[in-house]
Structure 1
Amino acid sequence: MAESREDERIIAEGVDEEAIEENRRLFGGWRFIAIAVAAGLYAAFHMAALTGLSISSMTGVDLPFLPTFPMETWNFRIVHVAGALMLGFLIYAPNAFPEDAGGETRILGLLALALAVPALLALGTAIWFALQINGGAQWTGIDETIRFNETWFFGAPLWIATGGAIALSWRHRRVREGFAAPDFVLAICAVAVATYLITIYGTLMRNSTGTPFAPIGISMAAVAGSALILELTRRVAGLALVVISAIFLVYVFAGQYLPGFLNSPPIEWTRFFSQVYTDAGILGPTTAVSSTYIILFIIFAAFLQASKVGDYFVNFAFALAGKARGGPAKVAIFASGLMGMINGTSAGNVVATGSLTIPLMKKVGYKKKTAGAIEAAASTGGQIVPPIMGAGAFIMAEITGIPYTEIAIAAIIPAILYFVSVYFMVDFEAAKLGMEGMHEDEIPSARALAKKCFLFLPIVILIVALFMGYSVIRAGVYATLAAVVVSWLTRHRMGPRAVGKAFELAGIMSIQIIAVCACAGIIVGVISLTGVGARFSSLLLGLADASQLLALFFAMCISILLGMGMPTTAAYAVAASVVAPGLVQLGIPALTAHFFVFYFAVLSAITPPVALASYAAAGISGANAMETSTASFKIGIAAFIVPFMFFYNSAILMDGTWFEIARAGLTAVVGVFLLSAGVQGWFFGARAGWIVRGLAVLAALSLIEGGLMSDLLGVALAVAAVGASRMLSGPSGAGARAAG
């Protein structure tokens, strides 16, 4: 009986429930079945492709119309993007839903159905081209007949259908449980773009991109494809990334008129767009990662979610930290760190865990803005926790060529420093407010949860497999299979239906990140094809001649600015293309430069004025969004200093002897403690006046710098801070009150 009572004493339930966005359609009946099957097959297709399987090899039956794996790289990425576009347009609406069928704009729906004619013409023409090429037809961009056919039977109808359907979709309104006609047209256009590009890139034409020999259809397909990507990104991730992408696209053609380092040579639209939908842009590093590592770990996360591991993580965090002062806030740190590592988006993690932790933080005495800020800071930190790092580690490995395991190891101390700093900030805030922890009968039983520690097994297997030298894909597959096996030891056993549901969930979860990565690919394409990245590097070099610290500060500002309003993955991908090359040219090692950029791209989620994680938390807490973002910035303030430590002390990134690494880690932790004490005004169990706070901050900065002399200076300043605290406080505390 005692065991059952302990098992019943749980707090977190529903953490693994699927979050439903405001503009997401909720289907029923045959529509639900169709979308569920499509989403499940989309995710399963990636699993099969990544594991090198084929349906024919599994069944022993030769089915030539089905894909064989592994697929050719470009074709795989094109299908990857097209599938997300199709699902995304059918699932996510472009505007608000009407309350009932009376609010539908049926005339616009009929107009949109008319646009299906040019969309189907473009798709049919692309298939006709494929049959011709398969029959031996010679294809060249300078053949007038081919150019005419591509322009008027493929490109023009595709543009009319794409542009018209996007415009109509903004005004068309359809009830939440129904498909919208403009979205069907956009899905057809996505298939037409993919069919044409796979057909043409399957010939020698991929080598002609950017030259007069490139078929005009490539440029026209790329224009339509870019418009589709931008529209879907607007629906699933908001306007921030779309606006930034649009600015970069305008720069391609306006750069020739700009002064100084922004000036770029004139580029014809056909030349640019014939290259942007290649591995120099949309099909480049961002899509390479989203089509392999990211989709794989989304599937892994979906299987964990289906086996209710998220509930266990949060309950485990409550058992571990619930009784400490300000307990729910510390629970948020642990739980959000665990969930955010896998989640891949700060704002999404806030919604998943914050709906539970934020109300509890308010209940124990935290202000609304502080409760939201703590959750935002903790969820953002999850993006830098190895081994997954919210998929950022995989993009970094793809861009730099540095082995993934080296990146994951280098991230250990920075992640510790981030969460230690947030923990100290939260603890000192709780101390100042005189908070207590939760009562033992209010938190889950540690003994009961310990018996279920096998639920950590999938993550343990993932980490062990990675560091045993297995590929990331194989380690991810093993971890996913482990999640299924582990579920059989709980009441949430995963049978065929649950596995199918997990694949369906993964397919839907992947849409946002795939759209964002493809959209970031447009920006990467602009940077690489215009050379603006190289000119920005020259600007950084010029600043470095005056001061390297000034150059780093400028790089920090640009990384945060580029990341504002963007999901972590896209923020890092863009900043890595613009800022990191300049840092490398300053002589900074590639790993250090990219970690510097990655950190600030992540921190843009809690940096005012546009802080996605803070805004999501404010929506739950009921606080003012700007006040919440300012508070989260304060809580995460130490994290804004940590990247500069990479530059001054590479031992923080595990580069050095064990003694150097241990000394750097230890002094950095002490420095973070002193910085938190100085910012919060709480020093060794008492409120600190401005003299003590100033000494603590100076000591922190000295210890964080990492050199031997600076460490000795930091220790001396810390001793002085302790002495000043004792002397000013006195027996009555009058001195402290006067100093404060």
Structure 2
Amino acid sequence: MSHTPESRDDASSDDVVEAVKAEGVDEAAVESNRRLYTGWQWLLFGTLAIAYSLFHLISLNIYPLETWSFRIVHIAGALILGYGLYAGTRFADEKQRRSPAWLAWVSYAMLVPALYALVRVVTMYQTMSGEAMRIDPAIETWHFGYPLILATMAGILLSWSYRQFRDRLSPADLVLMVCALGVAGYLLVMFNSPLRASTGTSFAPMGISYAAIAGSLLILELTRRVAGLALVVISAIFLIYVFAGPYLPGFLGYPGLSVGRFFSQVYTDAGILGPTTAVSSTYIILFIIFAAFLQASKVGDYFVNFAFAAAGRARGGPAKVSIFASGLMGMINGTSAGNVVSTGSLTIPLMMKVGYPGRSAGAIEAAASTGGQIMPPIMGAGAFIMAEITGIPYTEIAVAALIPAILYFLSIYCMVDFEAARKGMRGMRKDEIPLFSKLVKQVYLFAPIIILIAALFMGYSVIRAGTLATASAAVVSWFSPHKMGIPAILRALQLAGTMAIQIIAVCACAGLIVGVISLTGVGARFSSLLLGLAGVSQLLALFFAMCISILLGMGMPTTAAYAVAASVVAPGLINIGIQPLVAHFFVFYFAVVSAITPPVALASYAAAGISGDNAMGTSVASFKIGLAAFIVPFMFFYSPAMLMEGSWMQILRVGLTATLGIILLAATVQAWFFGPVKAWQRLLMLVGAICMIYGGIYSDIAGLAVGVLMFMMQRARPGGGGDKTVTSS
């Protein structure tokens, strides 16, 4: 990310140099544990990443594979690329020397059992191809299972302590790459034989359990490297529950599962190969490729510059730019914290420049970036997981998300606008922003997203629509300064393969949790708990569901947070009589806003790192700015018309009154409407906002009365309550 402040010698319309110009918005940040190869290693891993992306494009569009086999290869490819590109510990430098040679030799020694297990997979394939019914259990245990688990555990432990330079592959990670091949190879052999039907029974080959144990360890370790410890810790708690559950009291207790029965089933479509991997191997990987093509054609730079030109001159301009740009970028990239880093490194300093405190600037960016996850049509891939889990058509979900997304971004916009008015902030000067007349000439760069939306609503499958949009991104680039030739297309495919690692690891790890929930039945027991609470009060049951959804989502990427919450919380909400669409949107929203909810708010922490403010203070401020997202889900329950469920008159009434309610809520928080607002007026406006947000006909009338009263009182003030703030200078 970079921005180039350049001065203009004159303000003529022919001058094309802008004071603020977004550049490199599309460039992915390089993580601190990411290897940067040179020479043949750069070529090797670049080729692997390109091949990985092409494998998905070909399998999804031309030569489909058997479902389980496709998902196994999908995870294995991410593990191999992930261990090749992400180190397990800090890199060596001038001060911190690389690890001693004996540690390298120990790591290389672990290649022996890893390679032996891989060779045994080949011999087992030959045996099964010769019409054998199954493999001798002793061979599976002593010649495959034990060597594989030994190599996997040793490789993980060694990778934590083996420190290498940034441009070199650790031998411990090479061991893990071989183990990933061994796991995938064995599972492909067994799941393409009649033994696939024996998973979860006492007749299942023990080799499946050994492969699943090693595979689960590999997934957990890669998740730790690319997404942090939060999801790993939650997964570990769920795994402990599998074996500790029989000894727990109350509704948490269950009869128990043996190691063999659990692990022979968790690496199937009941767990790791289930809904989360189904989505990551189809929709998510496809839209990551689409995003990579948009990045290669520099569309992200255009989005941000377009937002500056459209909103930069309004009071508090950079904050409003942040809302528009973060909504557009976050919709595509699917991660709140990643969106903060990409657009926030430009918008946060500019917000501070026009008068926003560092805390407010970071909070606005965090709230806007989080909102990108609820912005249709892509919704940061959350919509695709919802469609997969619920069976509701994707287009129906995208339409249902429209009004809530508008309300959320309107709330942030009003918060920003009222704060700018209260503090007398200016907008950016004409010579500080890109020329709108110049950017309008490149409005065709929006074509790929328009084609995507049009194809989806014309009835094309999500995969076909995504493929068309990806191809159109390359075609559209030919009319722009950043034309995509063969080298640029290969770079985009390489970038997509790299970008996909984090989300695939997270989805596989979430699949592990989903597997525990489905195999132990803890989700059903949670449903019965919610049912009991609903007998006392449905609002209490919803509040409890909200707390659990936020708690499960803390520190986790959106996709994993929703997948877990959908497995634990949503079935309980459906059991107490809530419609499936409303229940899943409820948990989806709270899984998303966990990114700005104290005390663990990843998006807010990322923003605080840029603004230089206190992380906890920024998370509290972003919670306040994103307050609408904590109220809107309750509106789903009381007014299903908010999700397009009902007649057009109902939808229109609820949409309009909720909009007015959201504006009153923002005015209450910022203590400004058409002028300063006193404490008792804020309390009155809060009552009016809640009345209109509630959605009943009588409450709407009461809320409208409050709004009209406040408007008249503000206009009756000396000076008419008008805002005298200078918007540009």
Query: TM-score with structure 1 length normalisation?
Result: 0.94
Separation (CA, whole Å) in 1 of partners of 2:308 and 2:632: 28
Aligned mates of 2:490, 2:234 — CA distance in 1: 37
2:533 equivalent to 1:543: yes
User: In the TM superposition, what is the alpha-carbon distance from 1:72 to its structure 2 partner?
Assistant: 0.4
1:455 aligns with 2:410: no
Aligned residue number for residue 31 of structure 2? 21
Say if 1:695 and 1:720, in contact at 8 Å, map to a contact too: no
Q: 1:94 maps to what in 2?
A: 88
Q: Write out aligned runs for 1:23-62 (5 A).
A: 23-52=33-62
Residue number among 443, 458, 465 corresponding to 2:455 in the alignment? 465
> Does residue 1:121 correspond to 2:121, yes or no?
no
2:424 equivalent in structure 1: 434
Looking at structure 2, the residues matched to 233 and 538 of structure 1 have their Cα atoms a distance apart, in angstroms, of 32
Question: Which stretch shows the higher mean deviation, 486-495 or 555-564?
Answer: 486-495
Q: Retained in 2: the 8 A contact 1:692–1:724?
A: no
- Note the aligned Cα RMSD (angstroms): 1.5
**Residue 107 of structure 1 is aligned with which of 93, 102, 125?**
102
SS in 2 for 1:641: helix
1:386 aligns with 2:380: no
Contact 1:608–1:633 (CA under 8 A) maintained in structure 2:
yes
C-alpha separation in 1, matches of 2:575 and 2:717 = 49
Partner Cα distance (2:319, 2:704) in 1: 30
1:374 aligns with 2:364: yes
Deviation at 1:138, TM superposition (A): 1.2
CA shift for structure 1 position 655: 0.9
2: distance between equivalents of 1:105 and 1:45?
39
For residue 514 of structure 1, what is the amino acid of its counterpart?
I
Q: Does 1:253 align with 2:243?
A: yes
Q: State the secondary structure of the residue aligned to 2:254.
A: coil
Determine if the alignment matches structure 1 residue 485 to structure 2 residue 475.
yes
CA separation in 2, counterparts of 1:496 and 1:374?
39
Q: 1:641 aligns with which of 613, 631, 637?
A: 631
Question: 8 Å contact 1:372–1:628 — kept in the other structure?
Answer: yes
Aligned-partner SS, 1:139: coil
Q: CA deviation at 1:571?
A: 0.2
Aligned to 2:142: 152
One-letter identity of the residue aligned with 2:15: R
Aligned residues of 2:715 and 2:721 also touching (Cα < 8 A): no
**2: CA distance between counterparts of 1:732 and 1:226?**
62
- Provide the C-alpha distance between the structure 1 equivalents of 2:100 and 2:661, rounded to a whole number of angstroms: 61
Q: Offset of 1:9 from its aligned partner?
A: 6.0
User: Deviation of residue 720 (structure 1)?
Assistant: 3.9
State the Cα distance separating 1:98 from its structure 2 match. 1.2
Q: Are 1:407 and 2:397 an aligned pair?
A: yes
C-alpha distance in 2 between matches for 1:246 and 1:446: 52
Please state how far the C-alpha of 1:107 moved relative to its aligned partner: 2.1
Report the Cα distance in structure 2 between the residues aligned to 1:17 and 1:509, rounded to whole angstroms: 11
CA distance in 1, matches of 2:99, 2:358: 39
In the other structure, the counterpart of 1:690 is: 679
Asked if the contact 2:569–2:587 (Cα under 8 Å) also holds between the matched residues in 1, the reply is yes
The residue number in structure 1 matching 2:126 is: 131
Separation of aligned partners in 2, 1:698 and 1:428? 19
Q: Provide the rounded CA distance (Å) in 2 between the counterparts of 1:494 and 1:722.
A: 53
Query: Which amino acid in structure 2 is aligned with residue 35 of structure 1?
Result: F
**AA at the equivalent of 2:72:** I
Residues 594-644 of structure 1, C-alpha deviations (whole Å, 9 max, x = no match): 000000000000000000100111111111110110010000011100000
Cα distance 1:128–1:729, how it changes in 2: closer, same or farther (>3 A)? farther
CA, structure 1 residues 268+446, in 2 after alignment: closer, same or farther (shift >3 Å)? same
- SS of 1:78's partner is helix
Deviation at 1:721, TM superposition (A): 3.5
2:727 corresponds to which residue? none
Q: Provide the C-alpha distance between the structure 2 equivalents of 1:492 and 1:106, rounded to a whole number of angstroms.
A: 47
C-alpha contact 1:537 1:585 (8 A) present in aligned 2? yes
One-letter code aligned to 1:98? A
TM-fit CA distance, 1:732: 12
1:528-561 CA-to-partner distances (Å, cap 9, x unmatched) read 0000000000000000001000000000000000
The answer as to whether partners of 1:3 and 1:448 remain within 8 angstroms in 2 is no
Aligned to 1:56: none
8 Å contact from structure 2 (residues 256, 520) kept in 1: no
Which residue pairs with 2:74 in the alignment?
Answer: 80
- Residues 704-724 of structure 1 deviation map (CA, whole Å, 9 limit, x = unaligned): 111111101111232343456
What's the offset of the Cα at 1:102?
Answer: 3.6
Deviations 1:157-184 (CA, angstroms, capped at 9, x unpaired):
0011000010011111000011100000
Q: CA deviation at 1:197?
A: 0.2
Matches of 1:732 and 1:550, distance apart in 2: 41
Aligned to 1:716: 705
Query: Equivalences for 1:66-77 in 2 at 5 Å?
Result: 69-77=63-71
Q: How many residues are matched?
A: 711
| CA distance in structure 2 between the aligned counterparts of 1:663 and 1:85, rounded to whole angstroms | 50
Percent identity between matched residues is 66
Decide whether aligned partners of structure 1 residues 2 and 680 sit closer, same or farther in structure 2, where only a CA change above 3 A counts. Answer: closer
* In 2, Cα distance between equivalents of 1:193 and 1:482: 38
Whether 1:12 and 2:22 are equivalent positions in the alignment is yes
What is the alpha-carbon distance in structure 1 between the residues aligned to residue 51 and residue 221 of structure 2? 24
Aligned residue runs from structure 1 range 305-344, under 5 A: 305-344=295-334
Q: Establish whether residue 706 from structure 1 lines up as the match of residue 706 from structure 2.
A: no
Structure 1 residue matching 2:16: 3-state secondary structure: helix
Native 8 Å contact 1:40 1:507 kept in 2: yes
* C-alpha deviation, 1:106, in angstroms: 2.8
Structure-2 change in CA distance of 1:429 and 1:732 (3 Å): closer
Q: Distance in 2 between matches of 1:102 and 1:92?
A: 19
Task: Work out whether residues 104 and 175 of structure 1, in 8 Å CA contact, stay in contact via their aligned partners in 2.
Answer: no
Gaps of 5+ in 1: 53-68, 141-145, 734-740
Correspondences of 1:335-734 after superposition (within 5 Å)? 335-684=325-674, 686-722=675-711
Q: Tell me, yes or no, if structure 1 residue 164 matches structure 2 residue 160.
A: no
Separation (CA, whole Å) in 2 of partners of 1:351 and 1:106:
38
Q: Residues 115 and 4 (structure 1 numbering): CA distance in 2 closer, same or farther, change over 3 Å? A: farther
- The one-letter code matched in structure 2 to 1:48 is I
Cα distance, 1:139 vs. partner? Answer: 1.1
SS in 2 for 1:682: coil
1:692/1:725 contact within 8 Å kept: no
C-alpha contact (below 8 Å) 1:695/1:718 kept by paired residues: no
Instruction: Please state how far the C-alpha of 1:491 moved relative to its aligned partner.
Output: 1.7
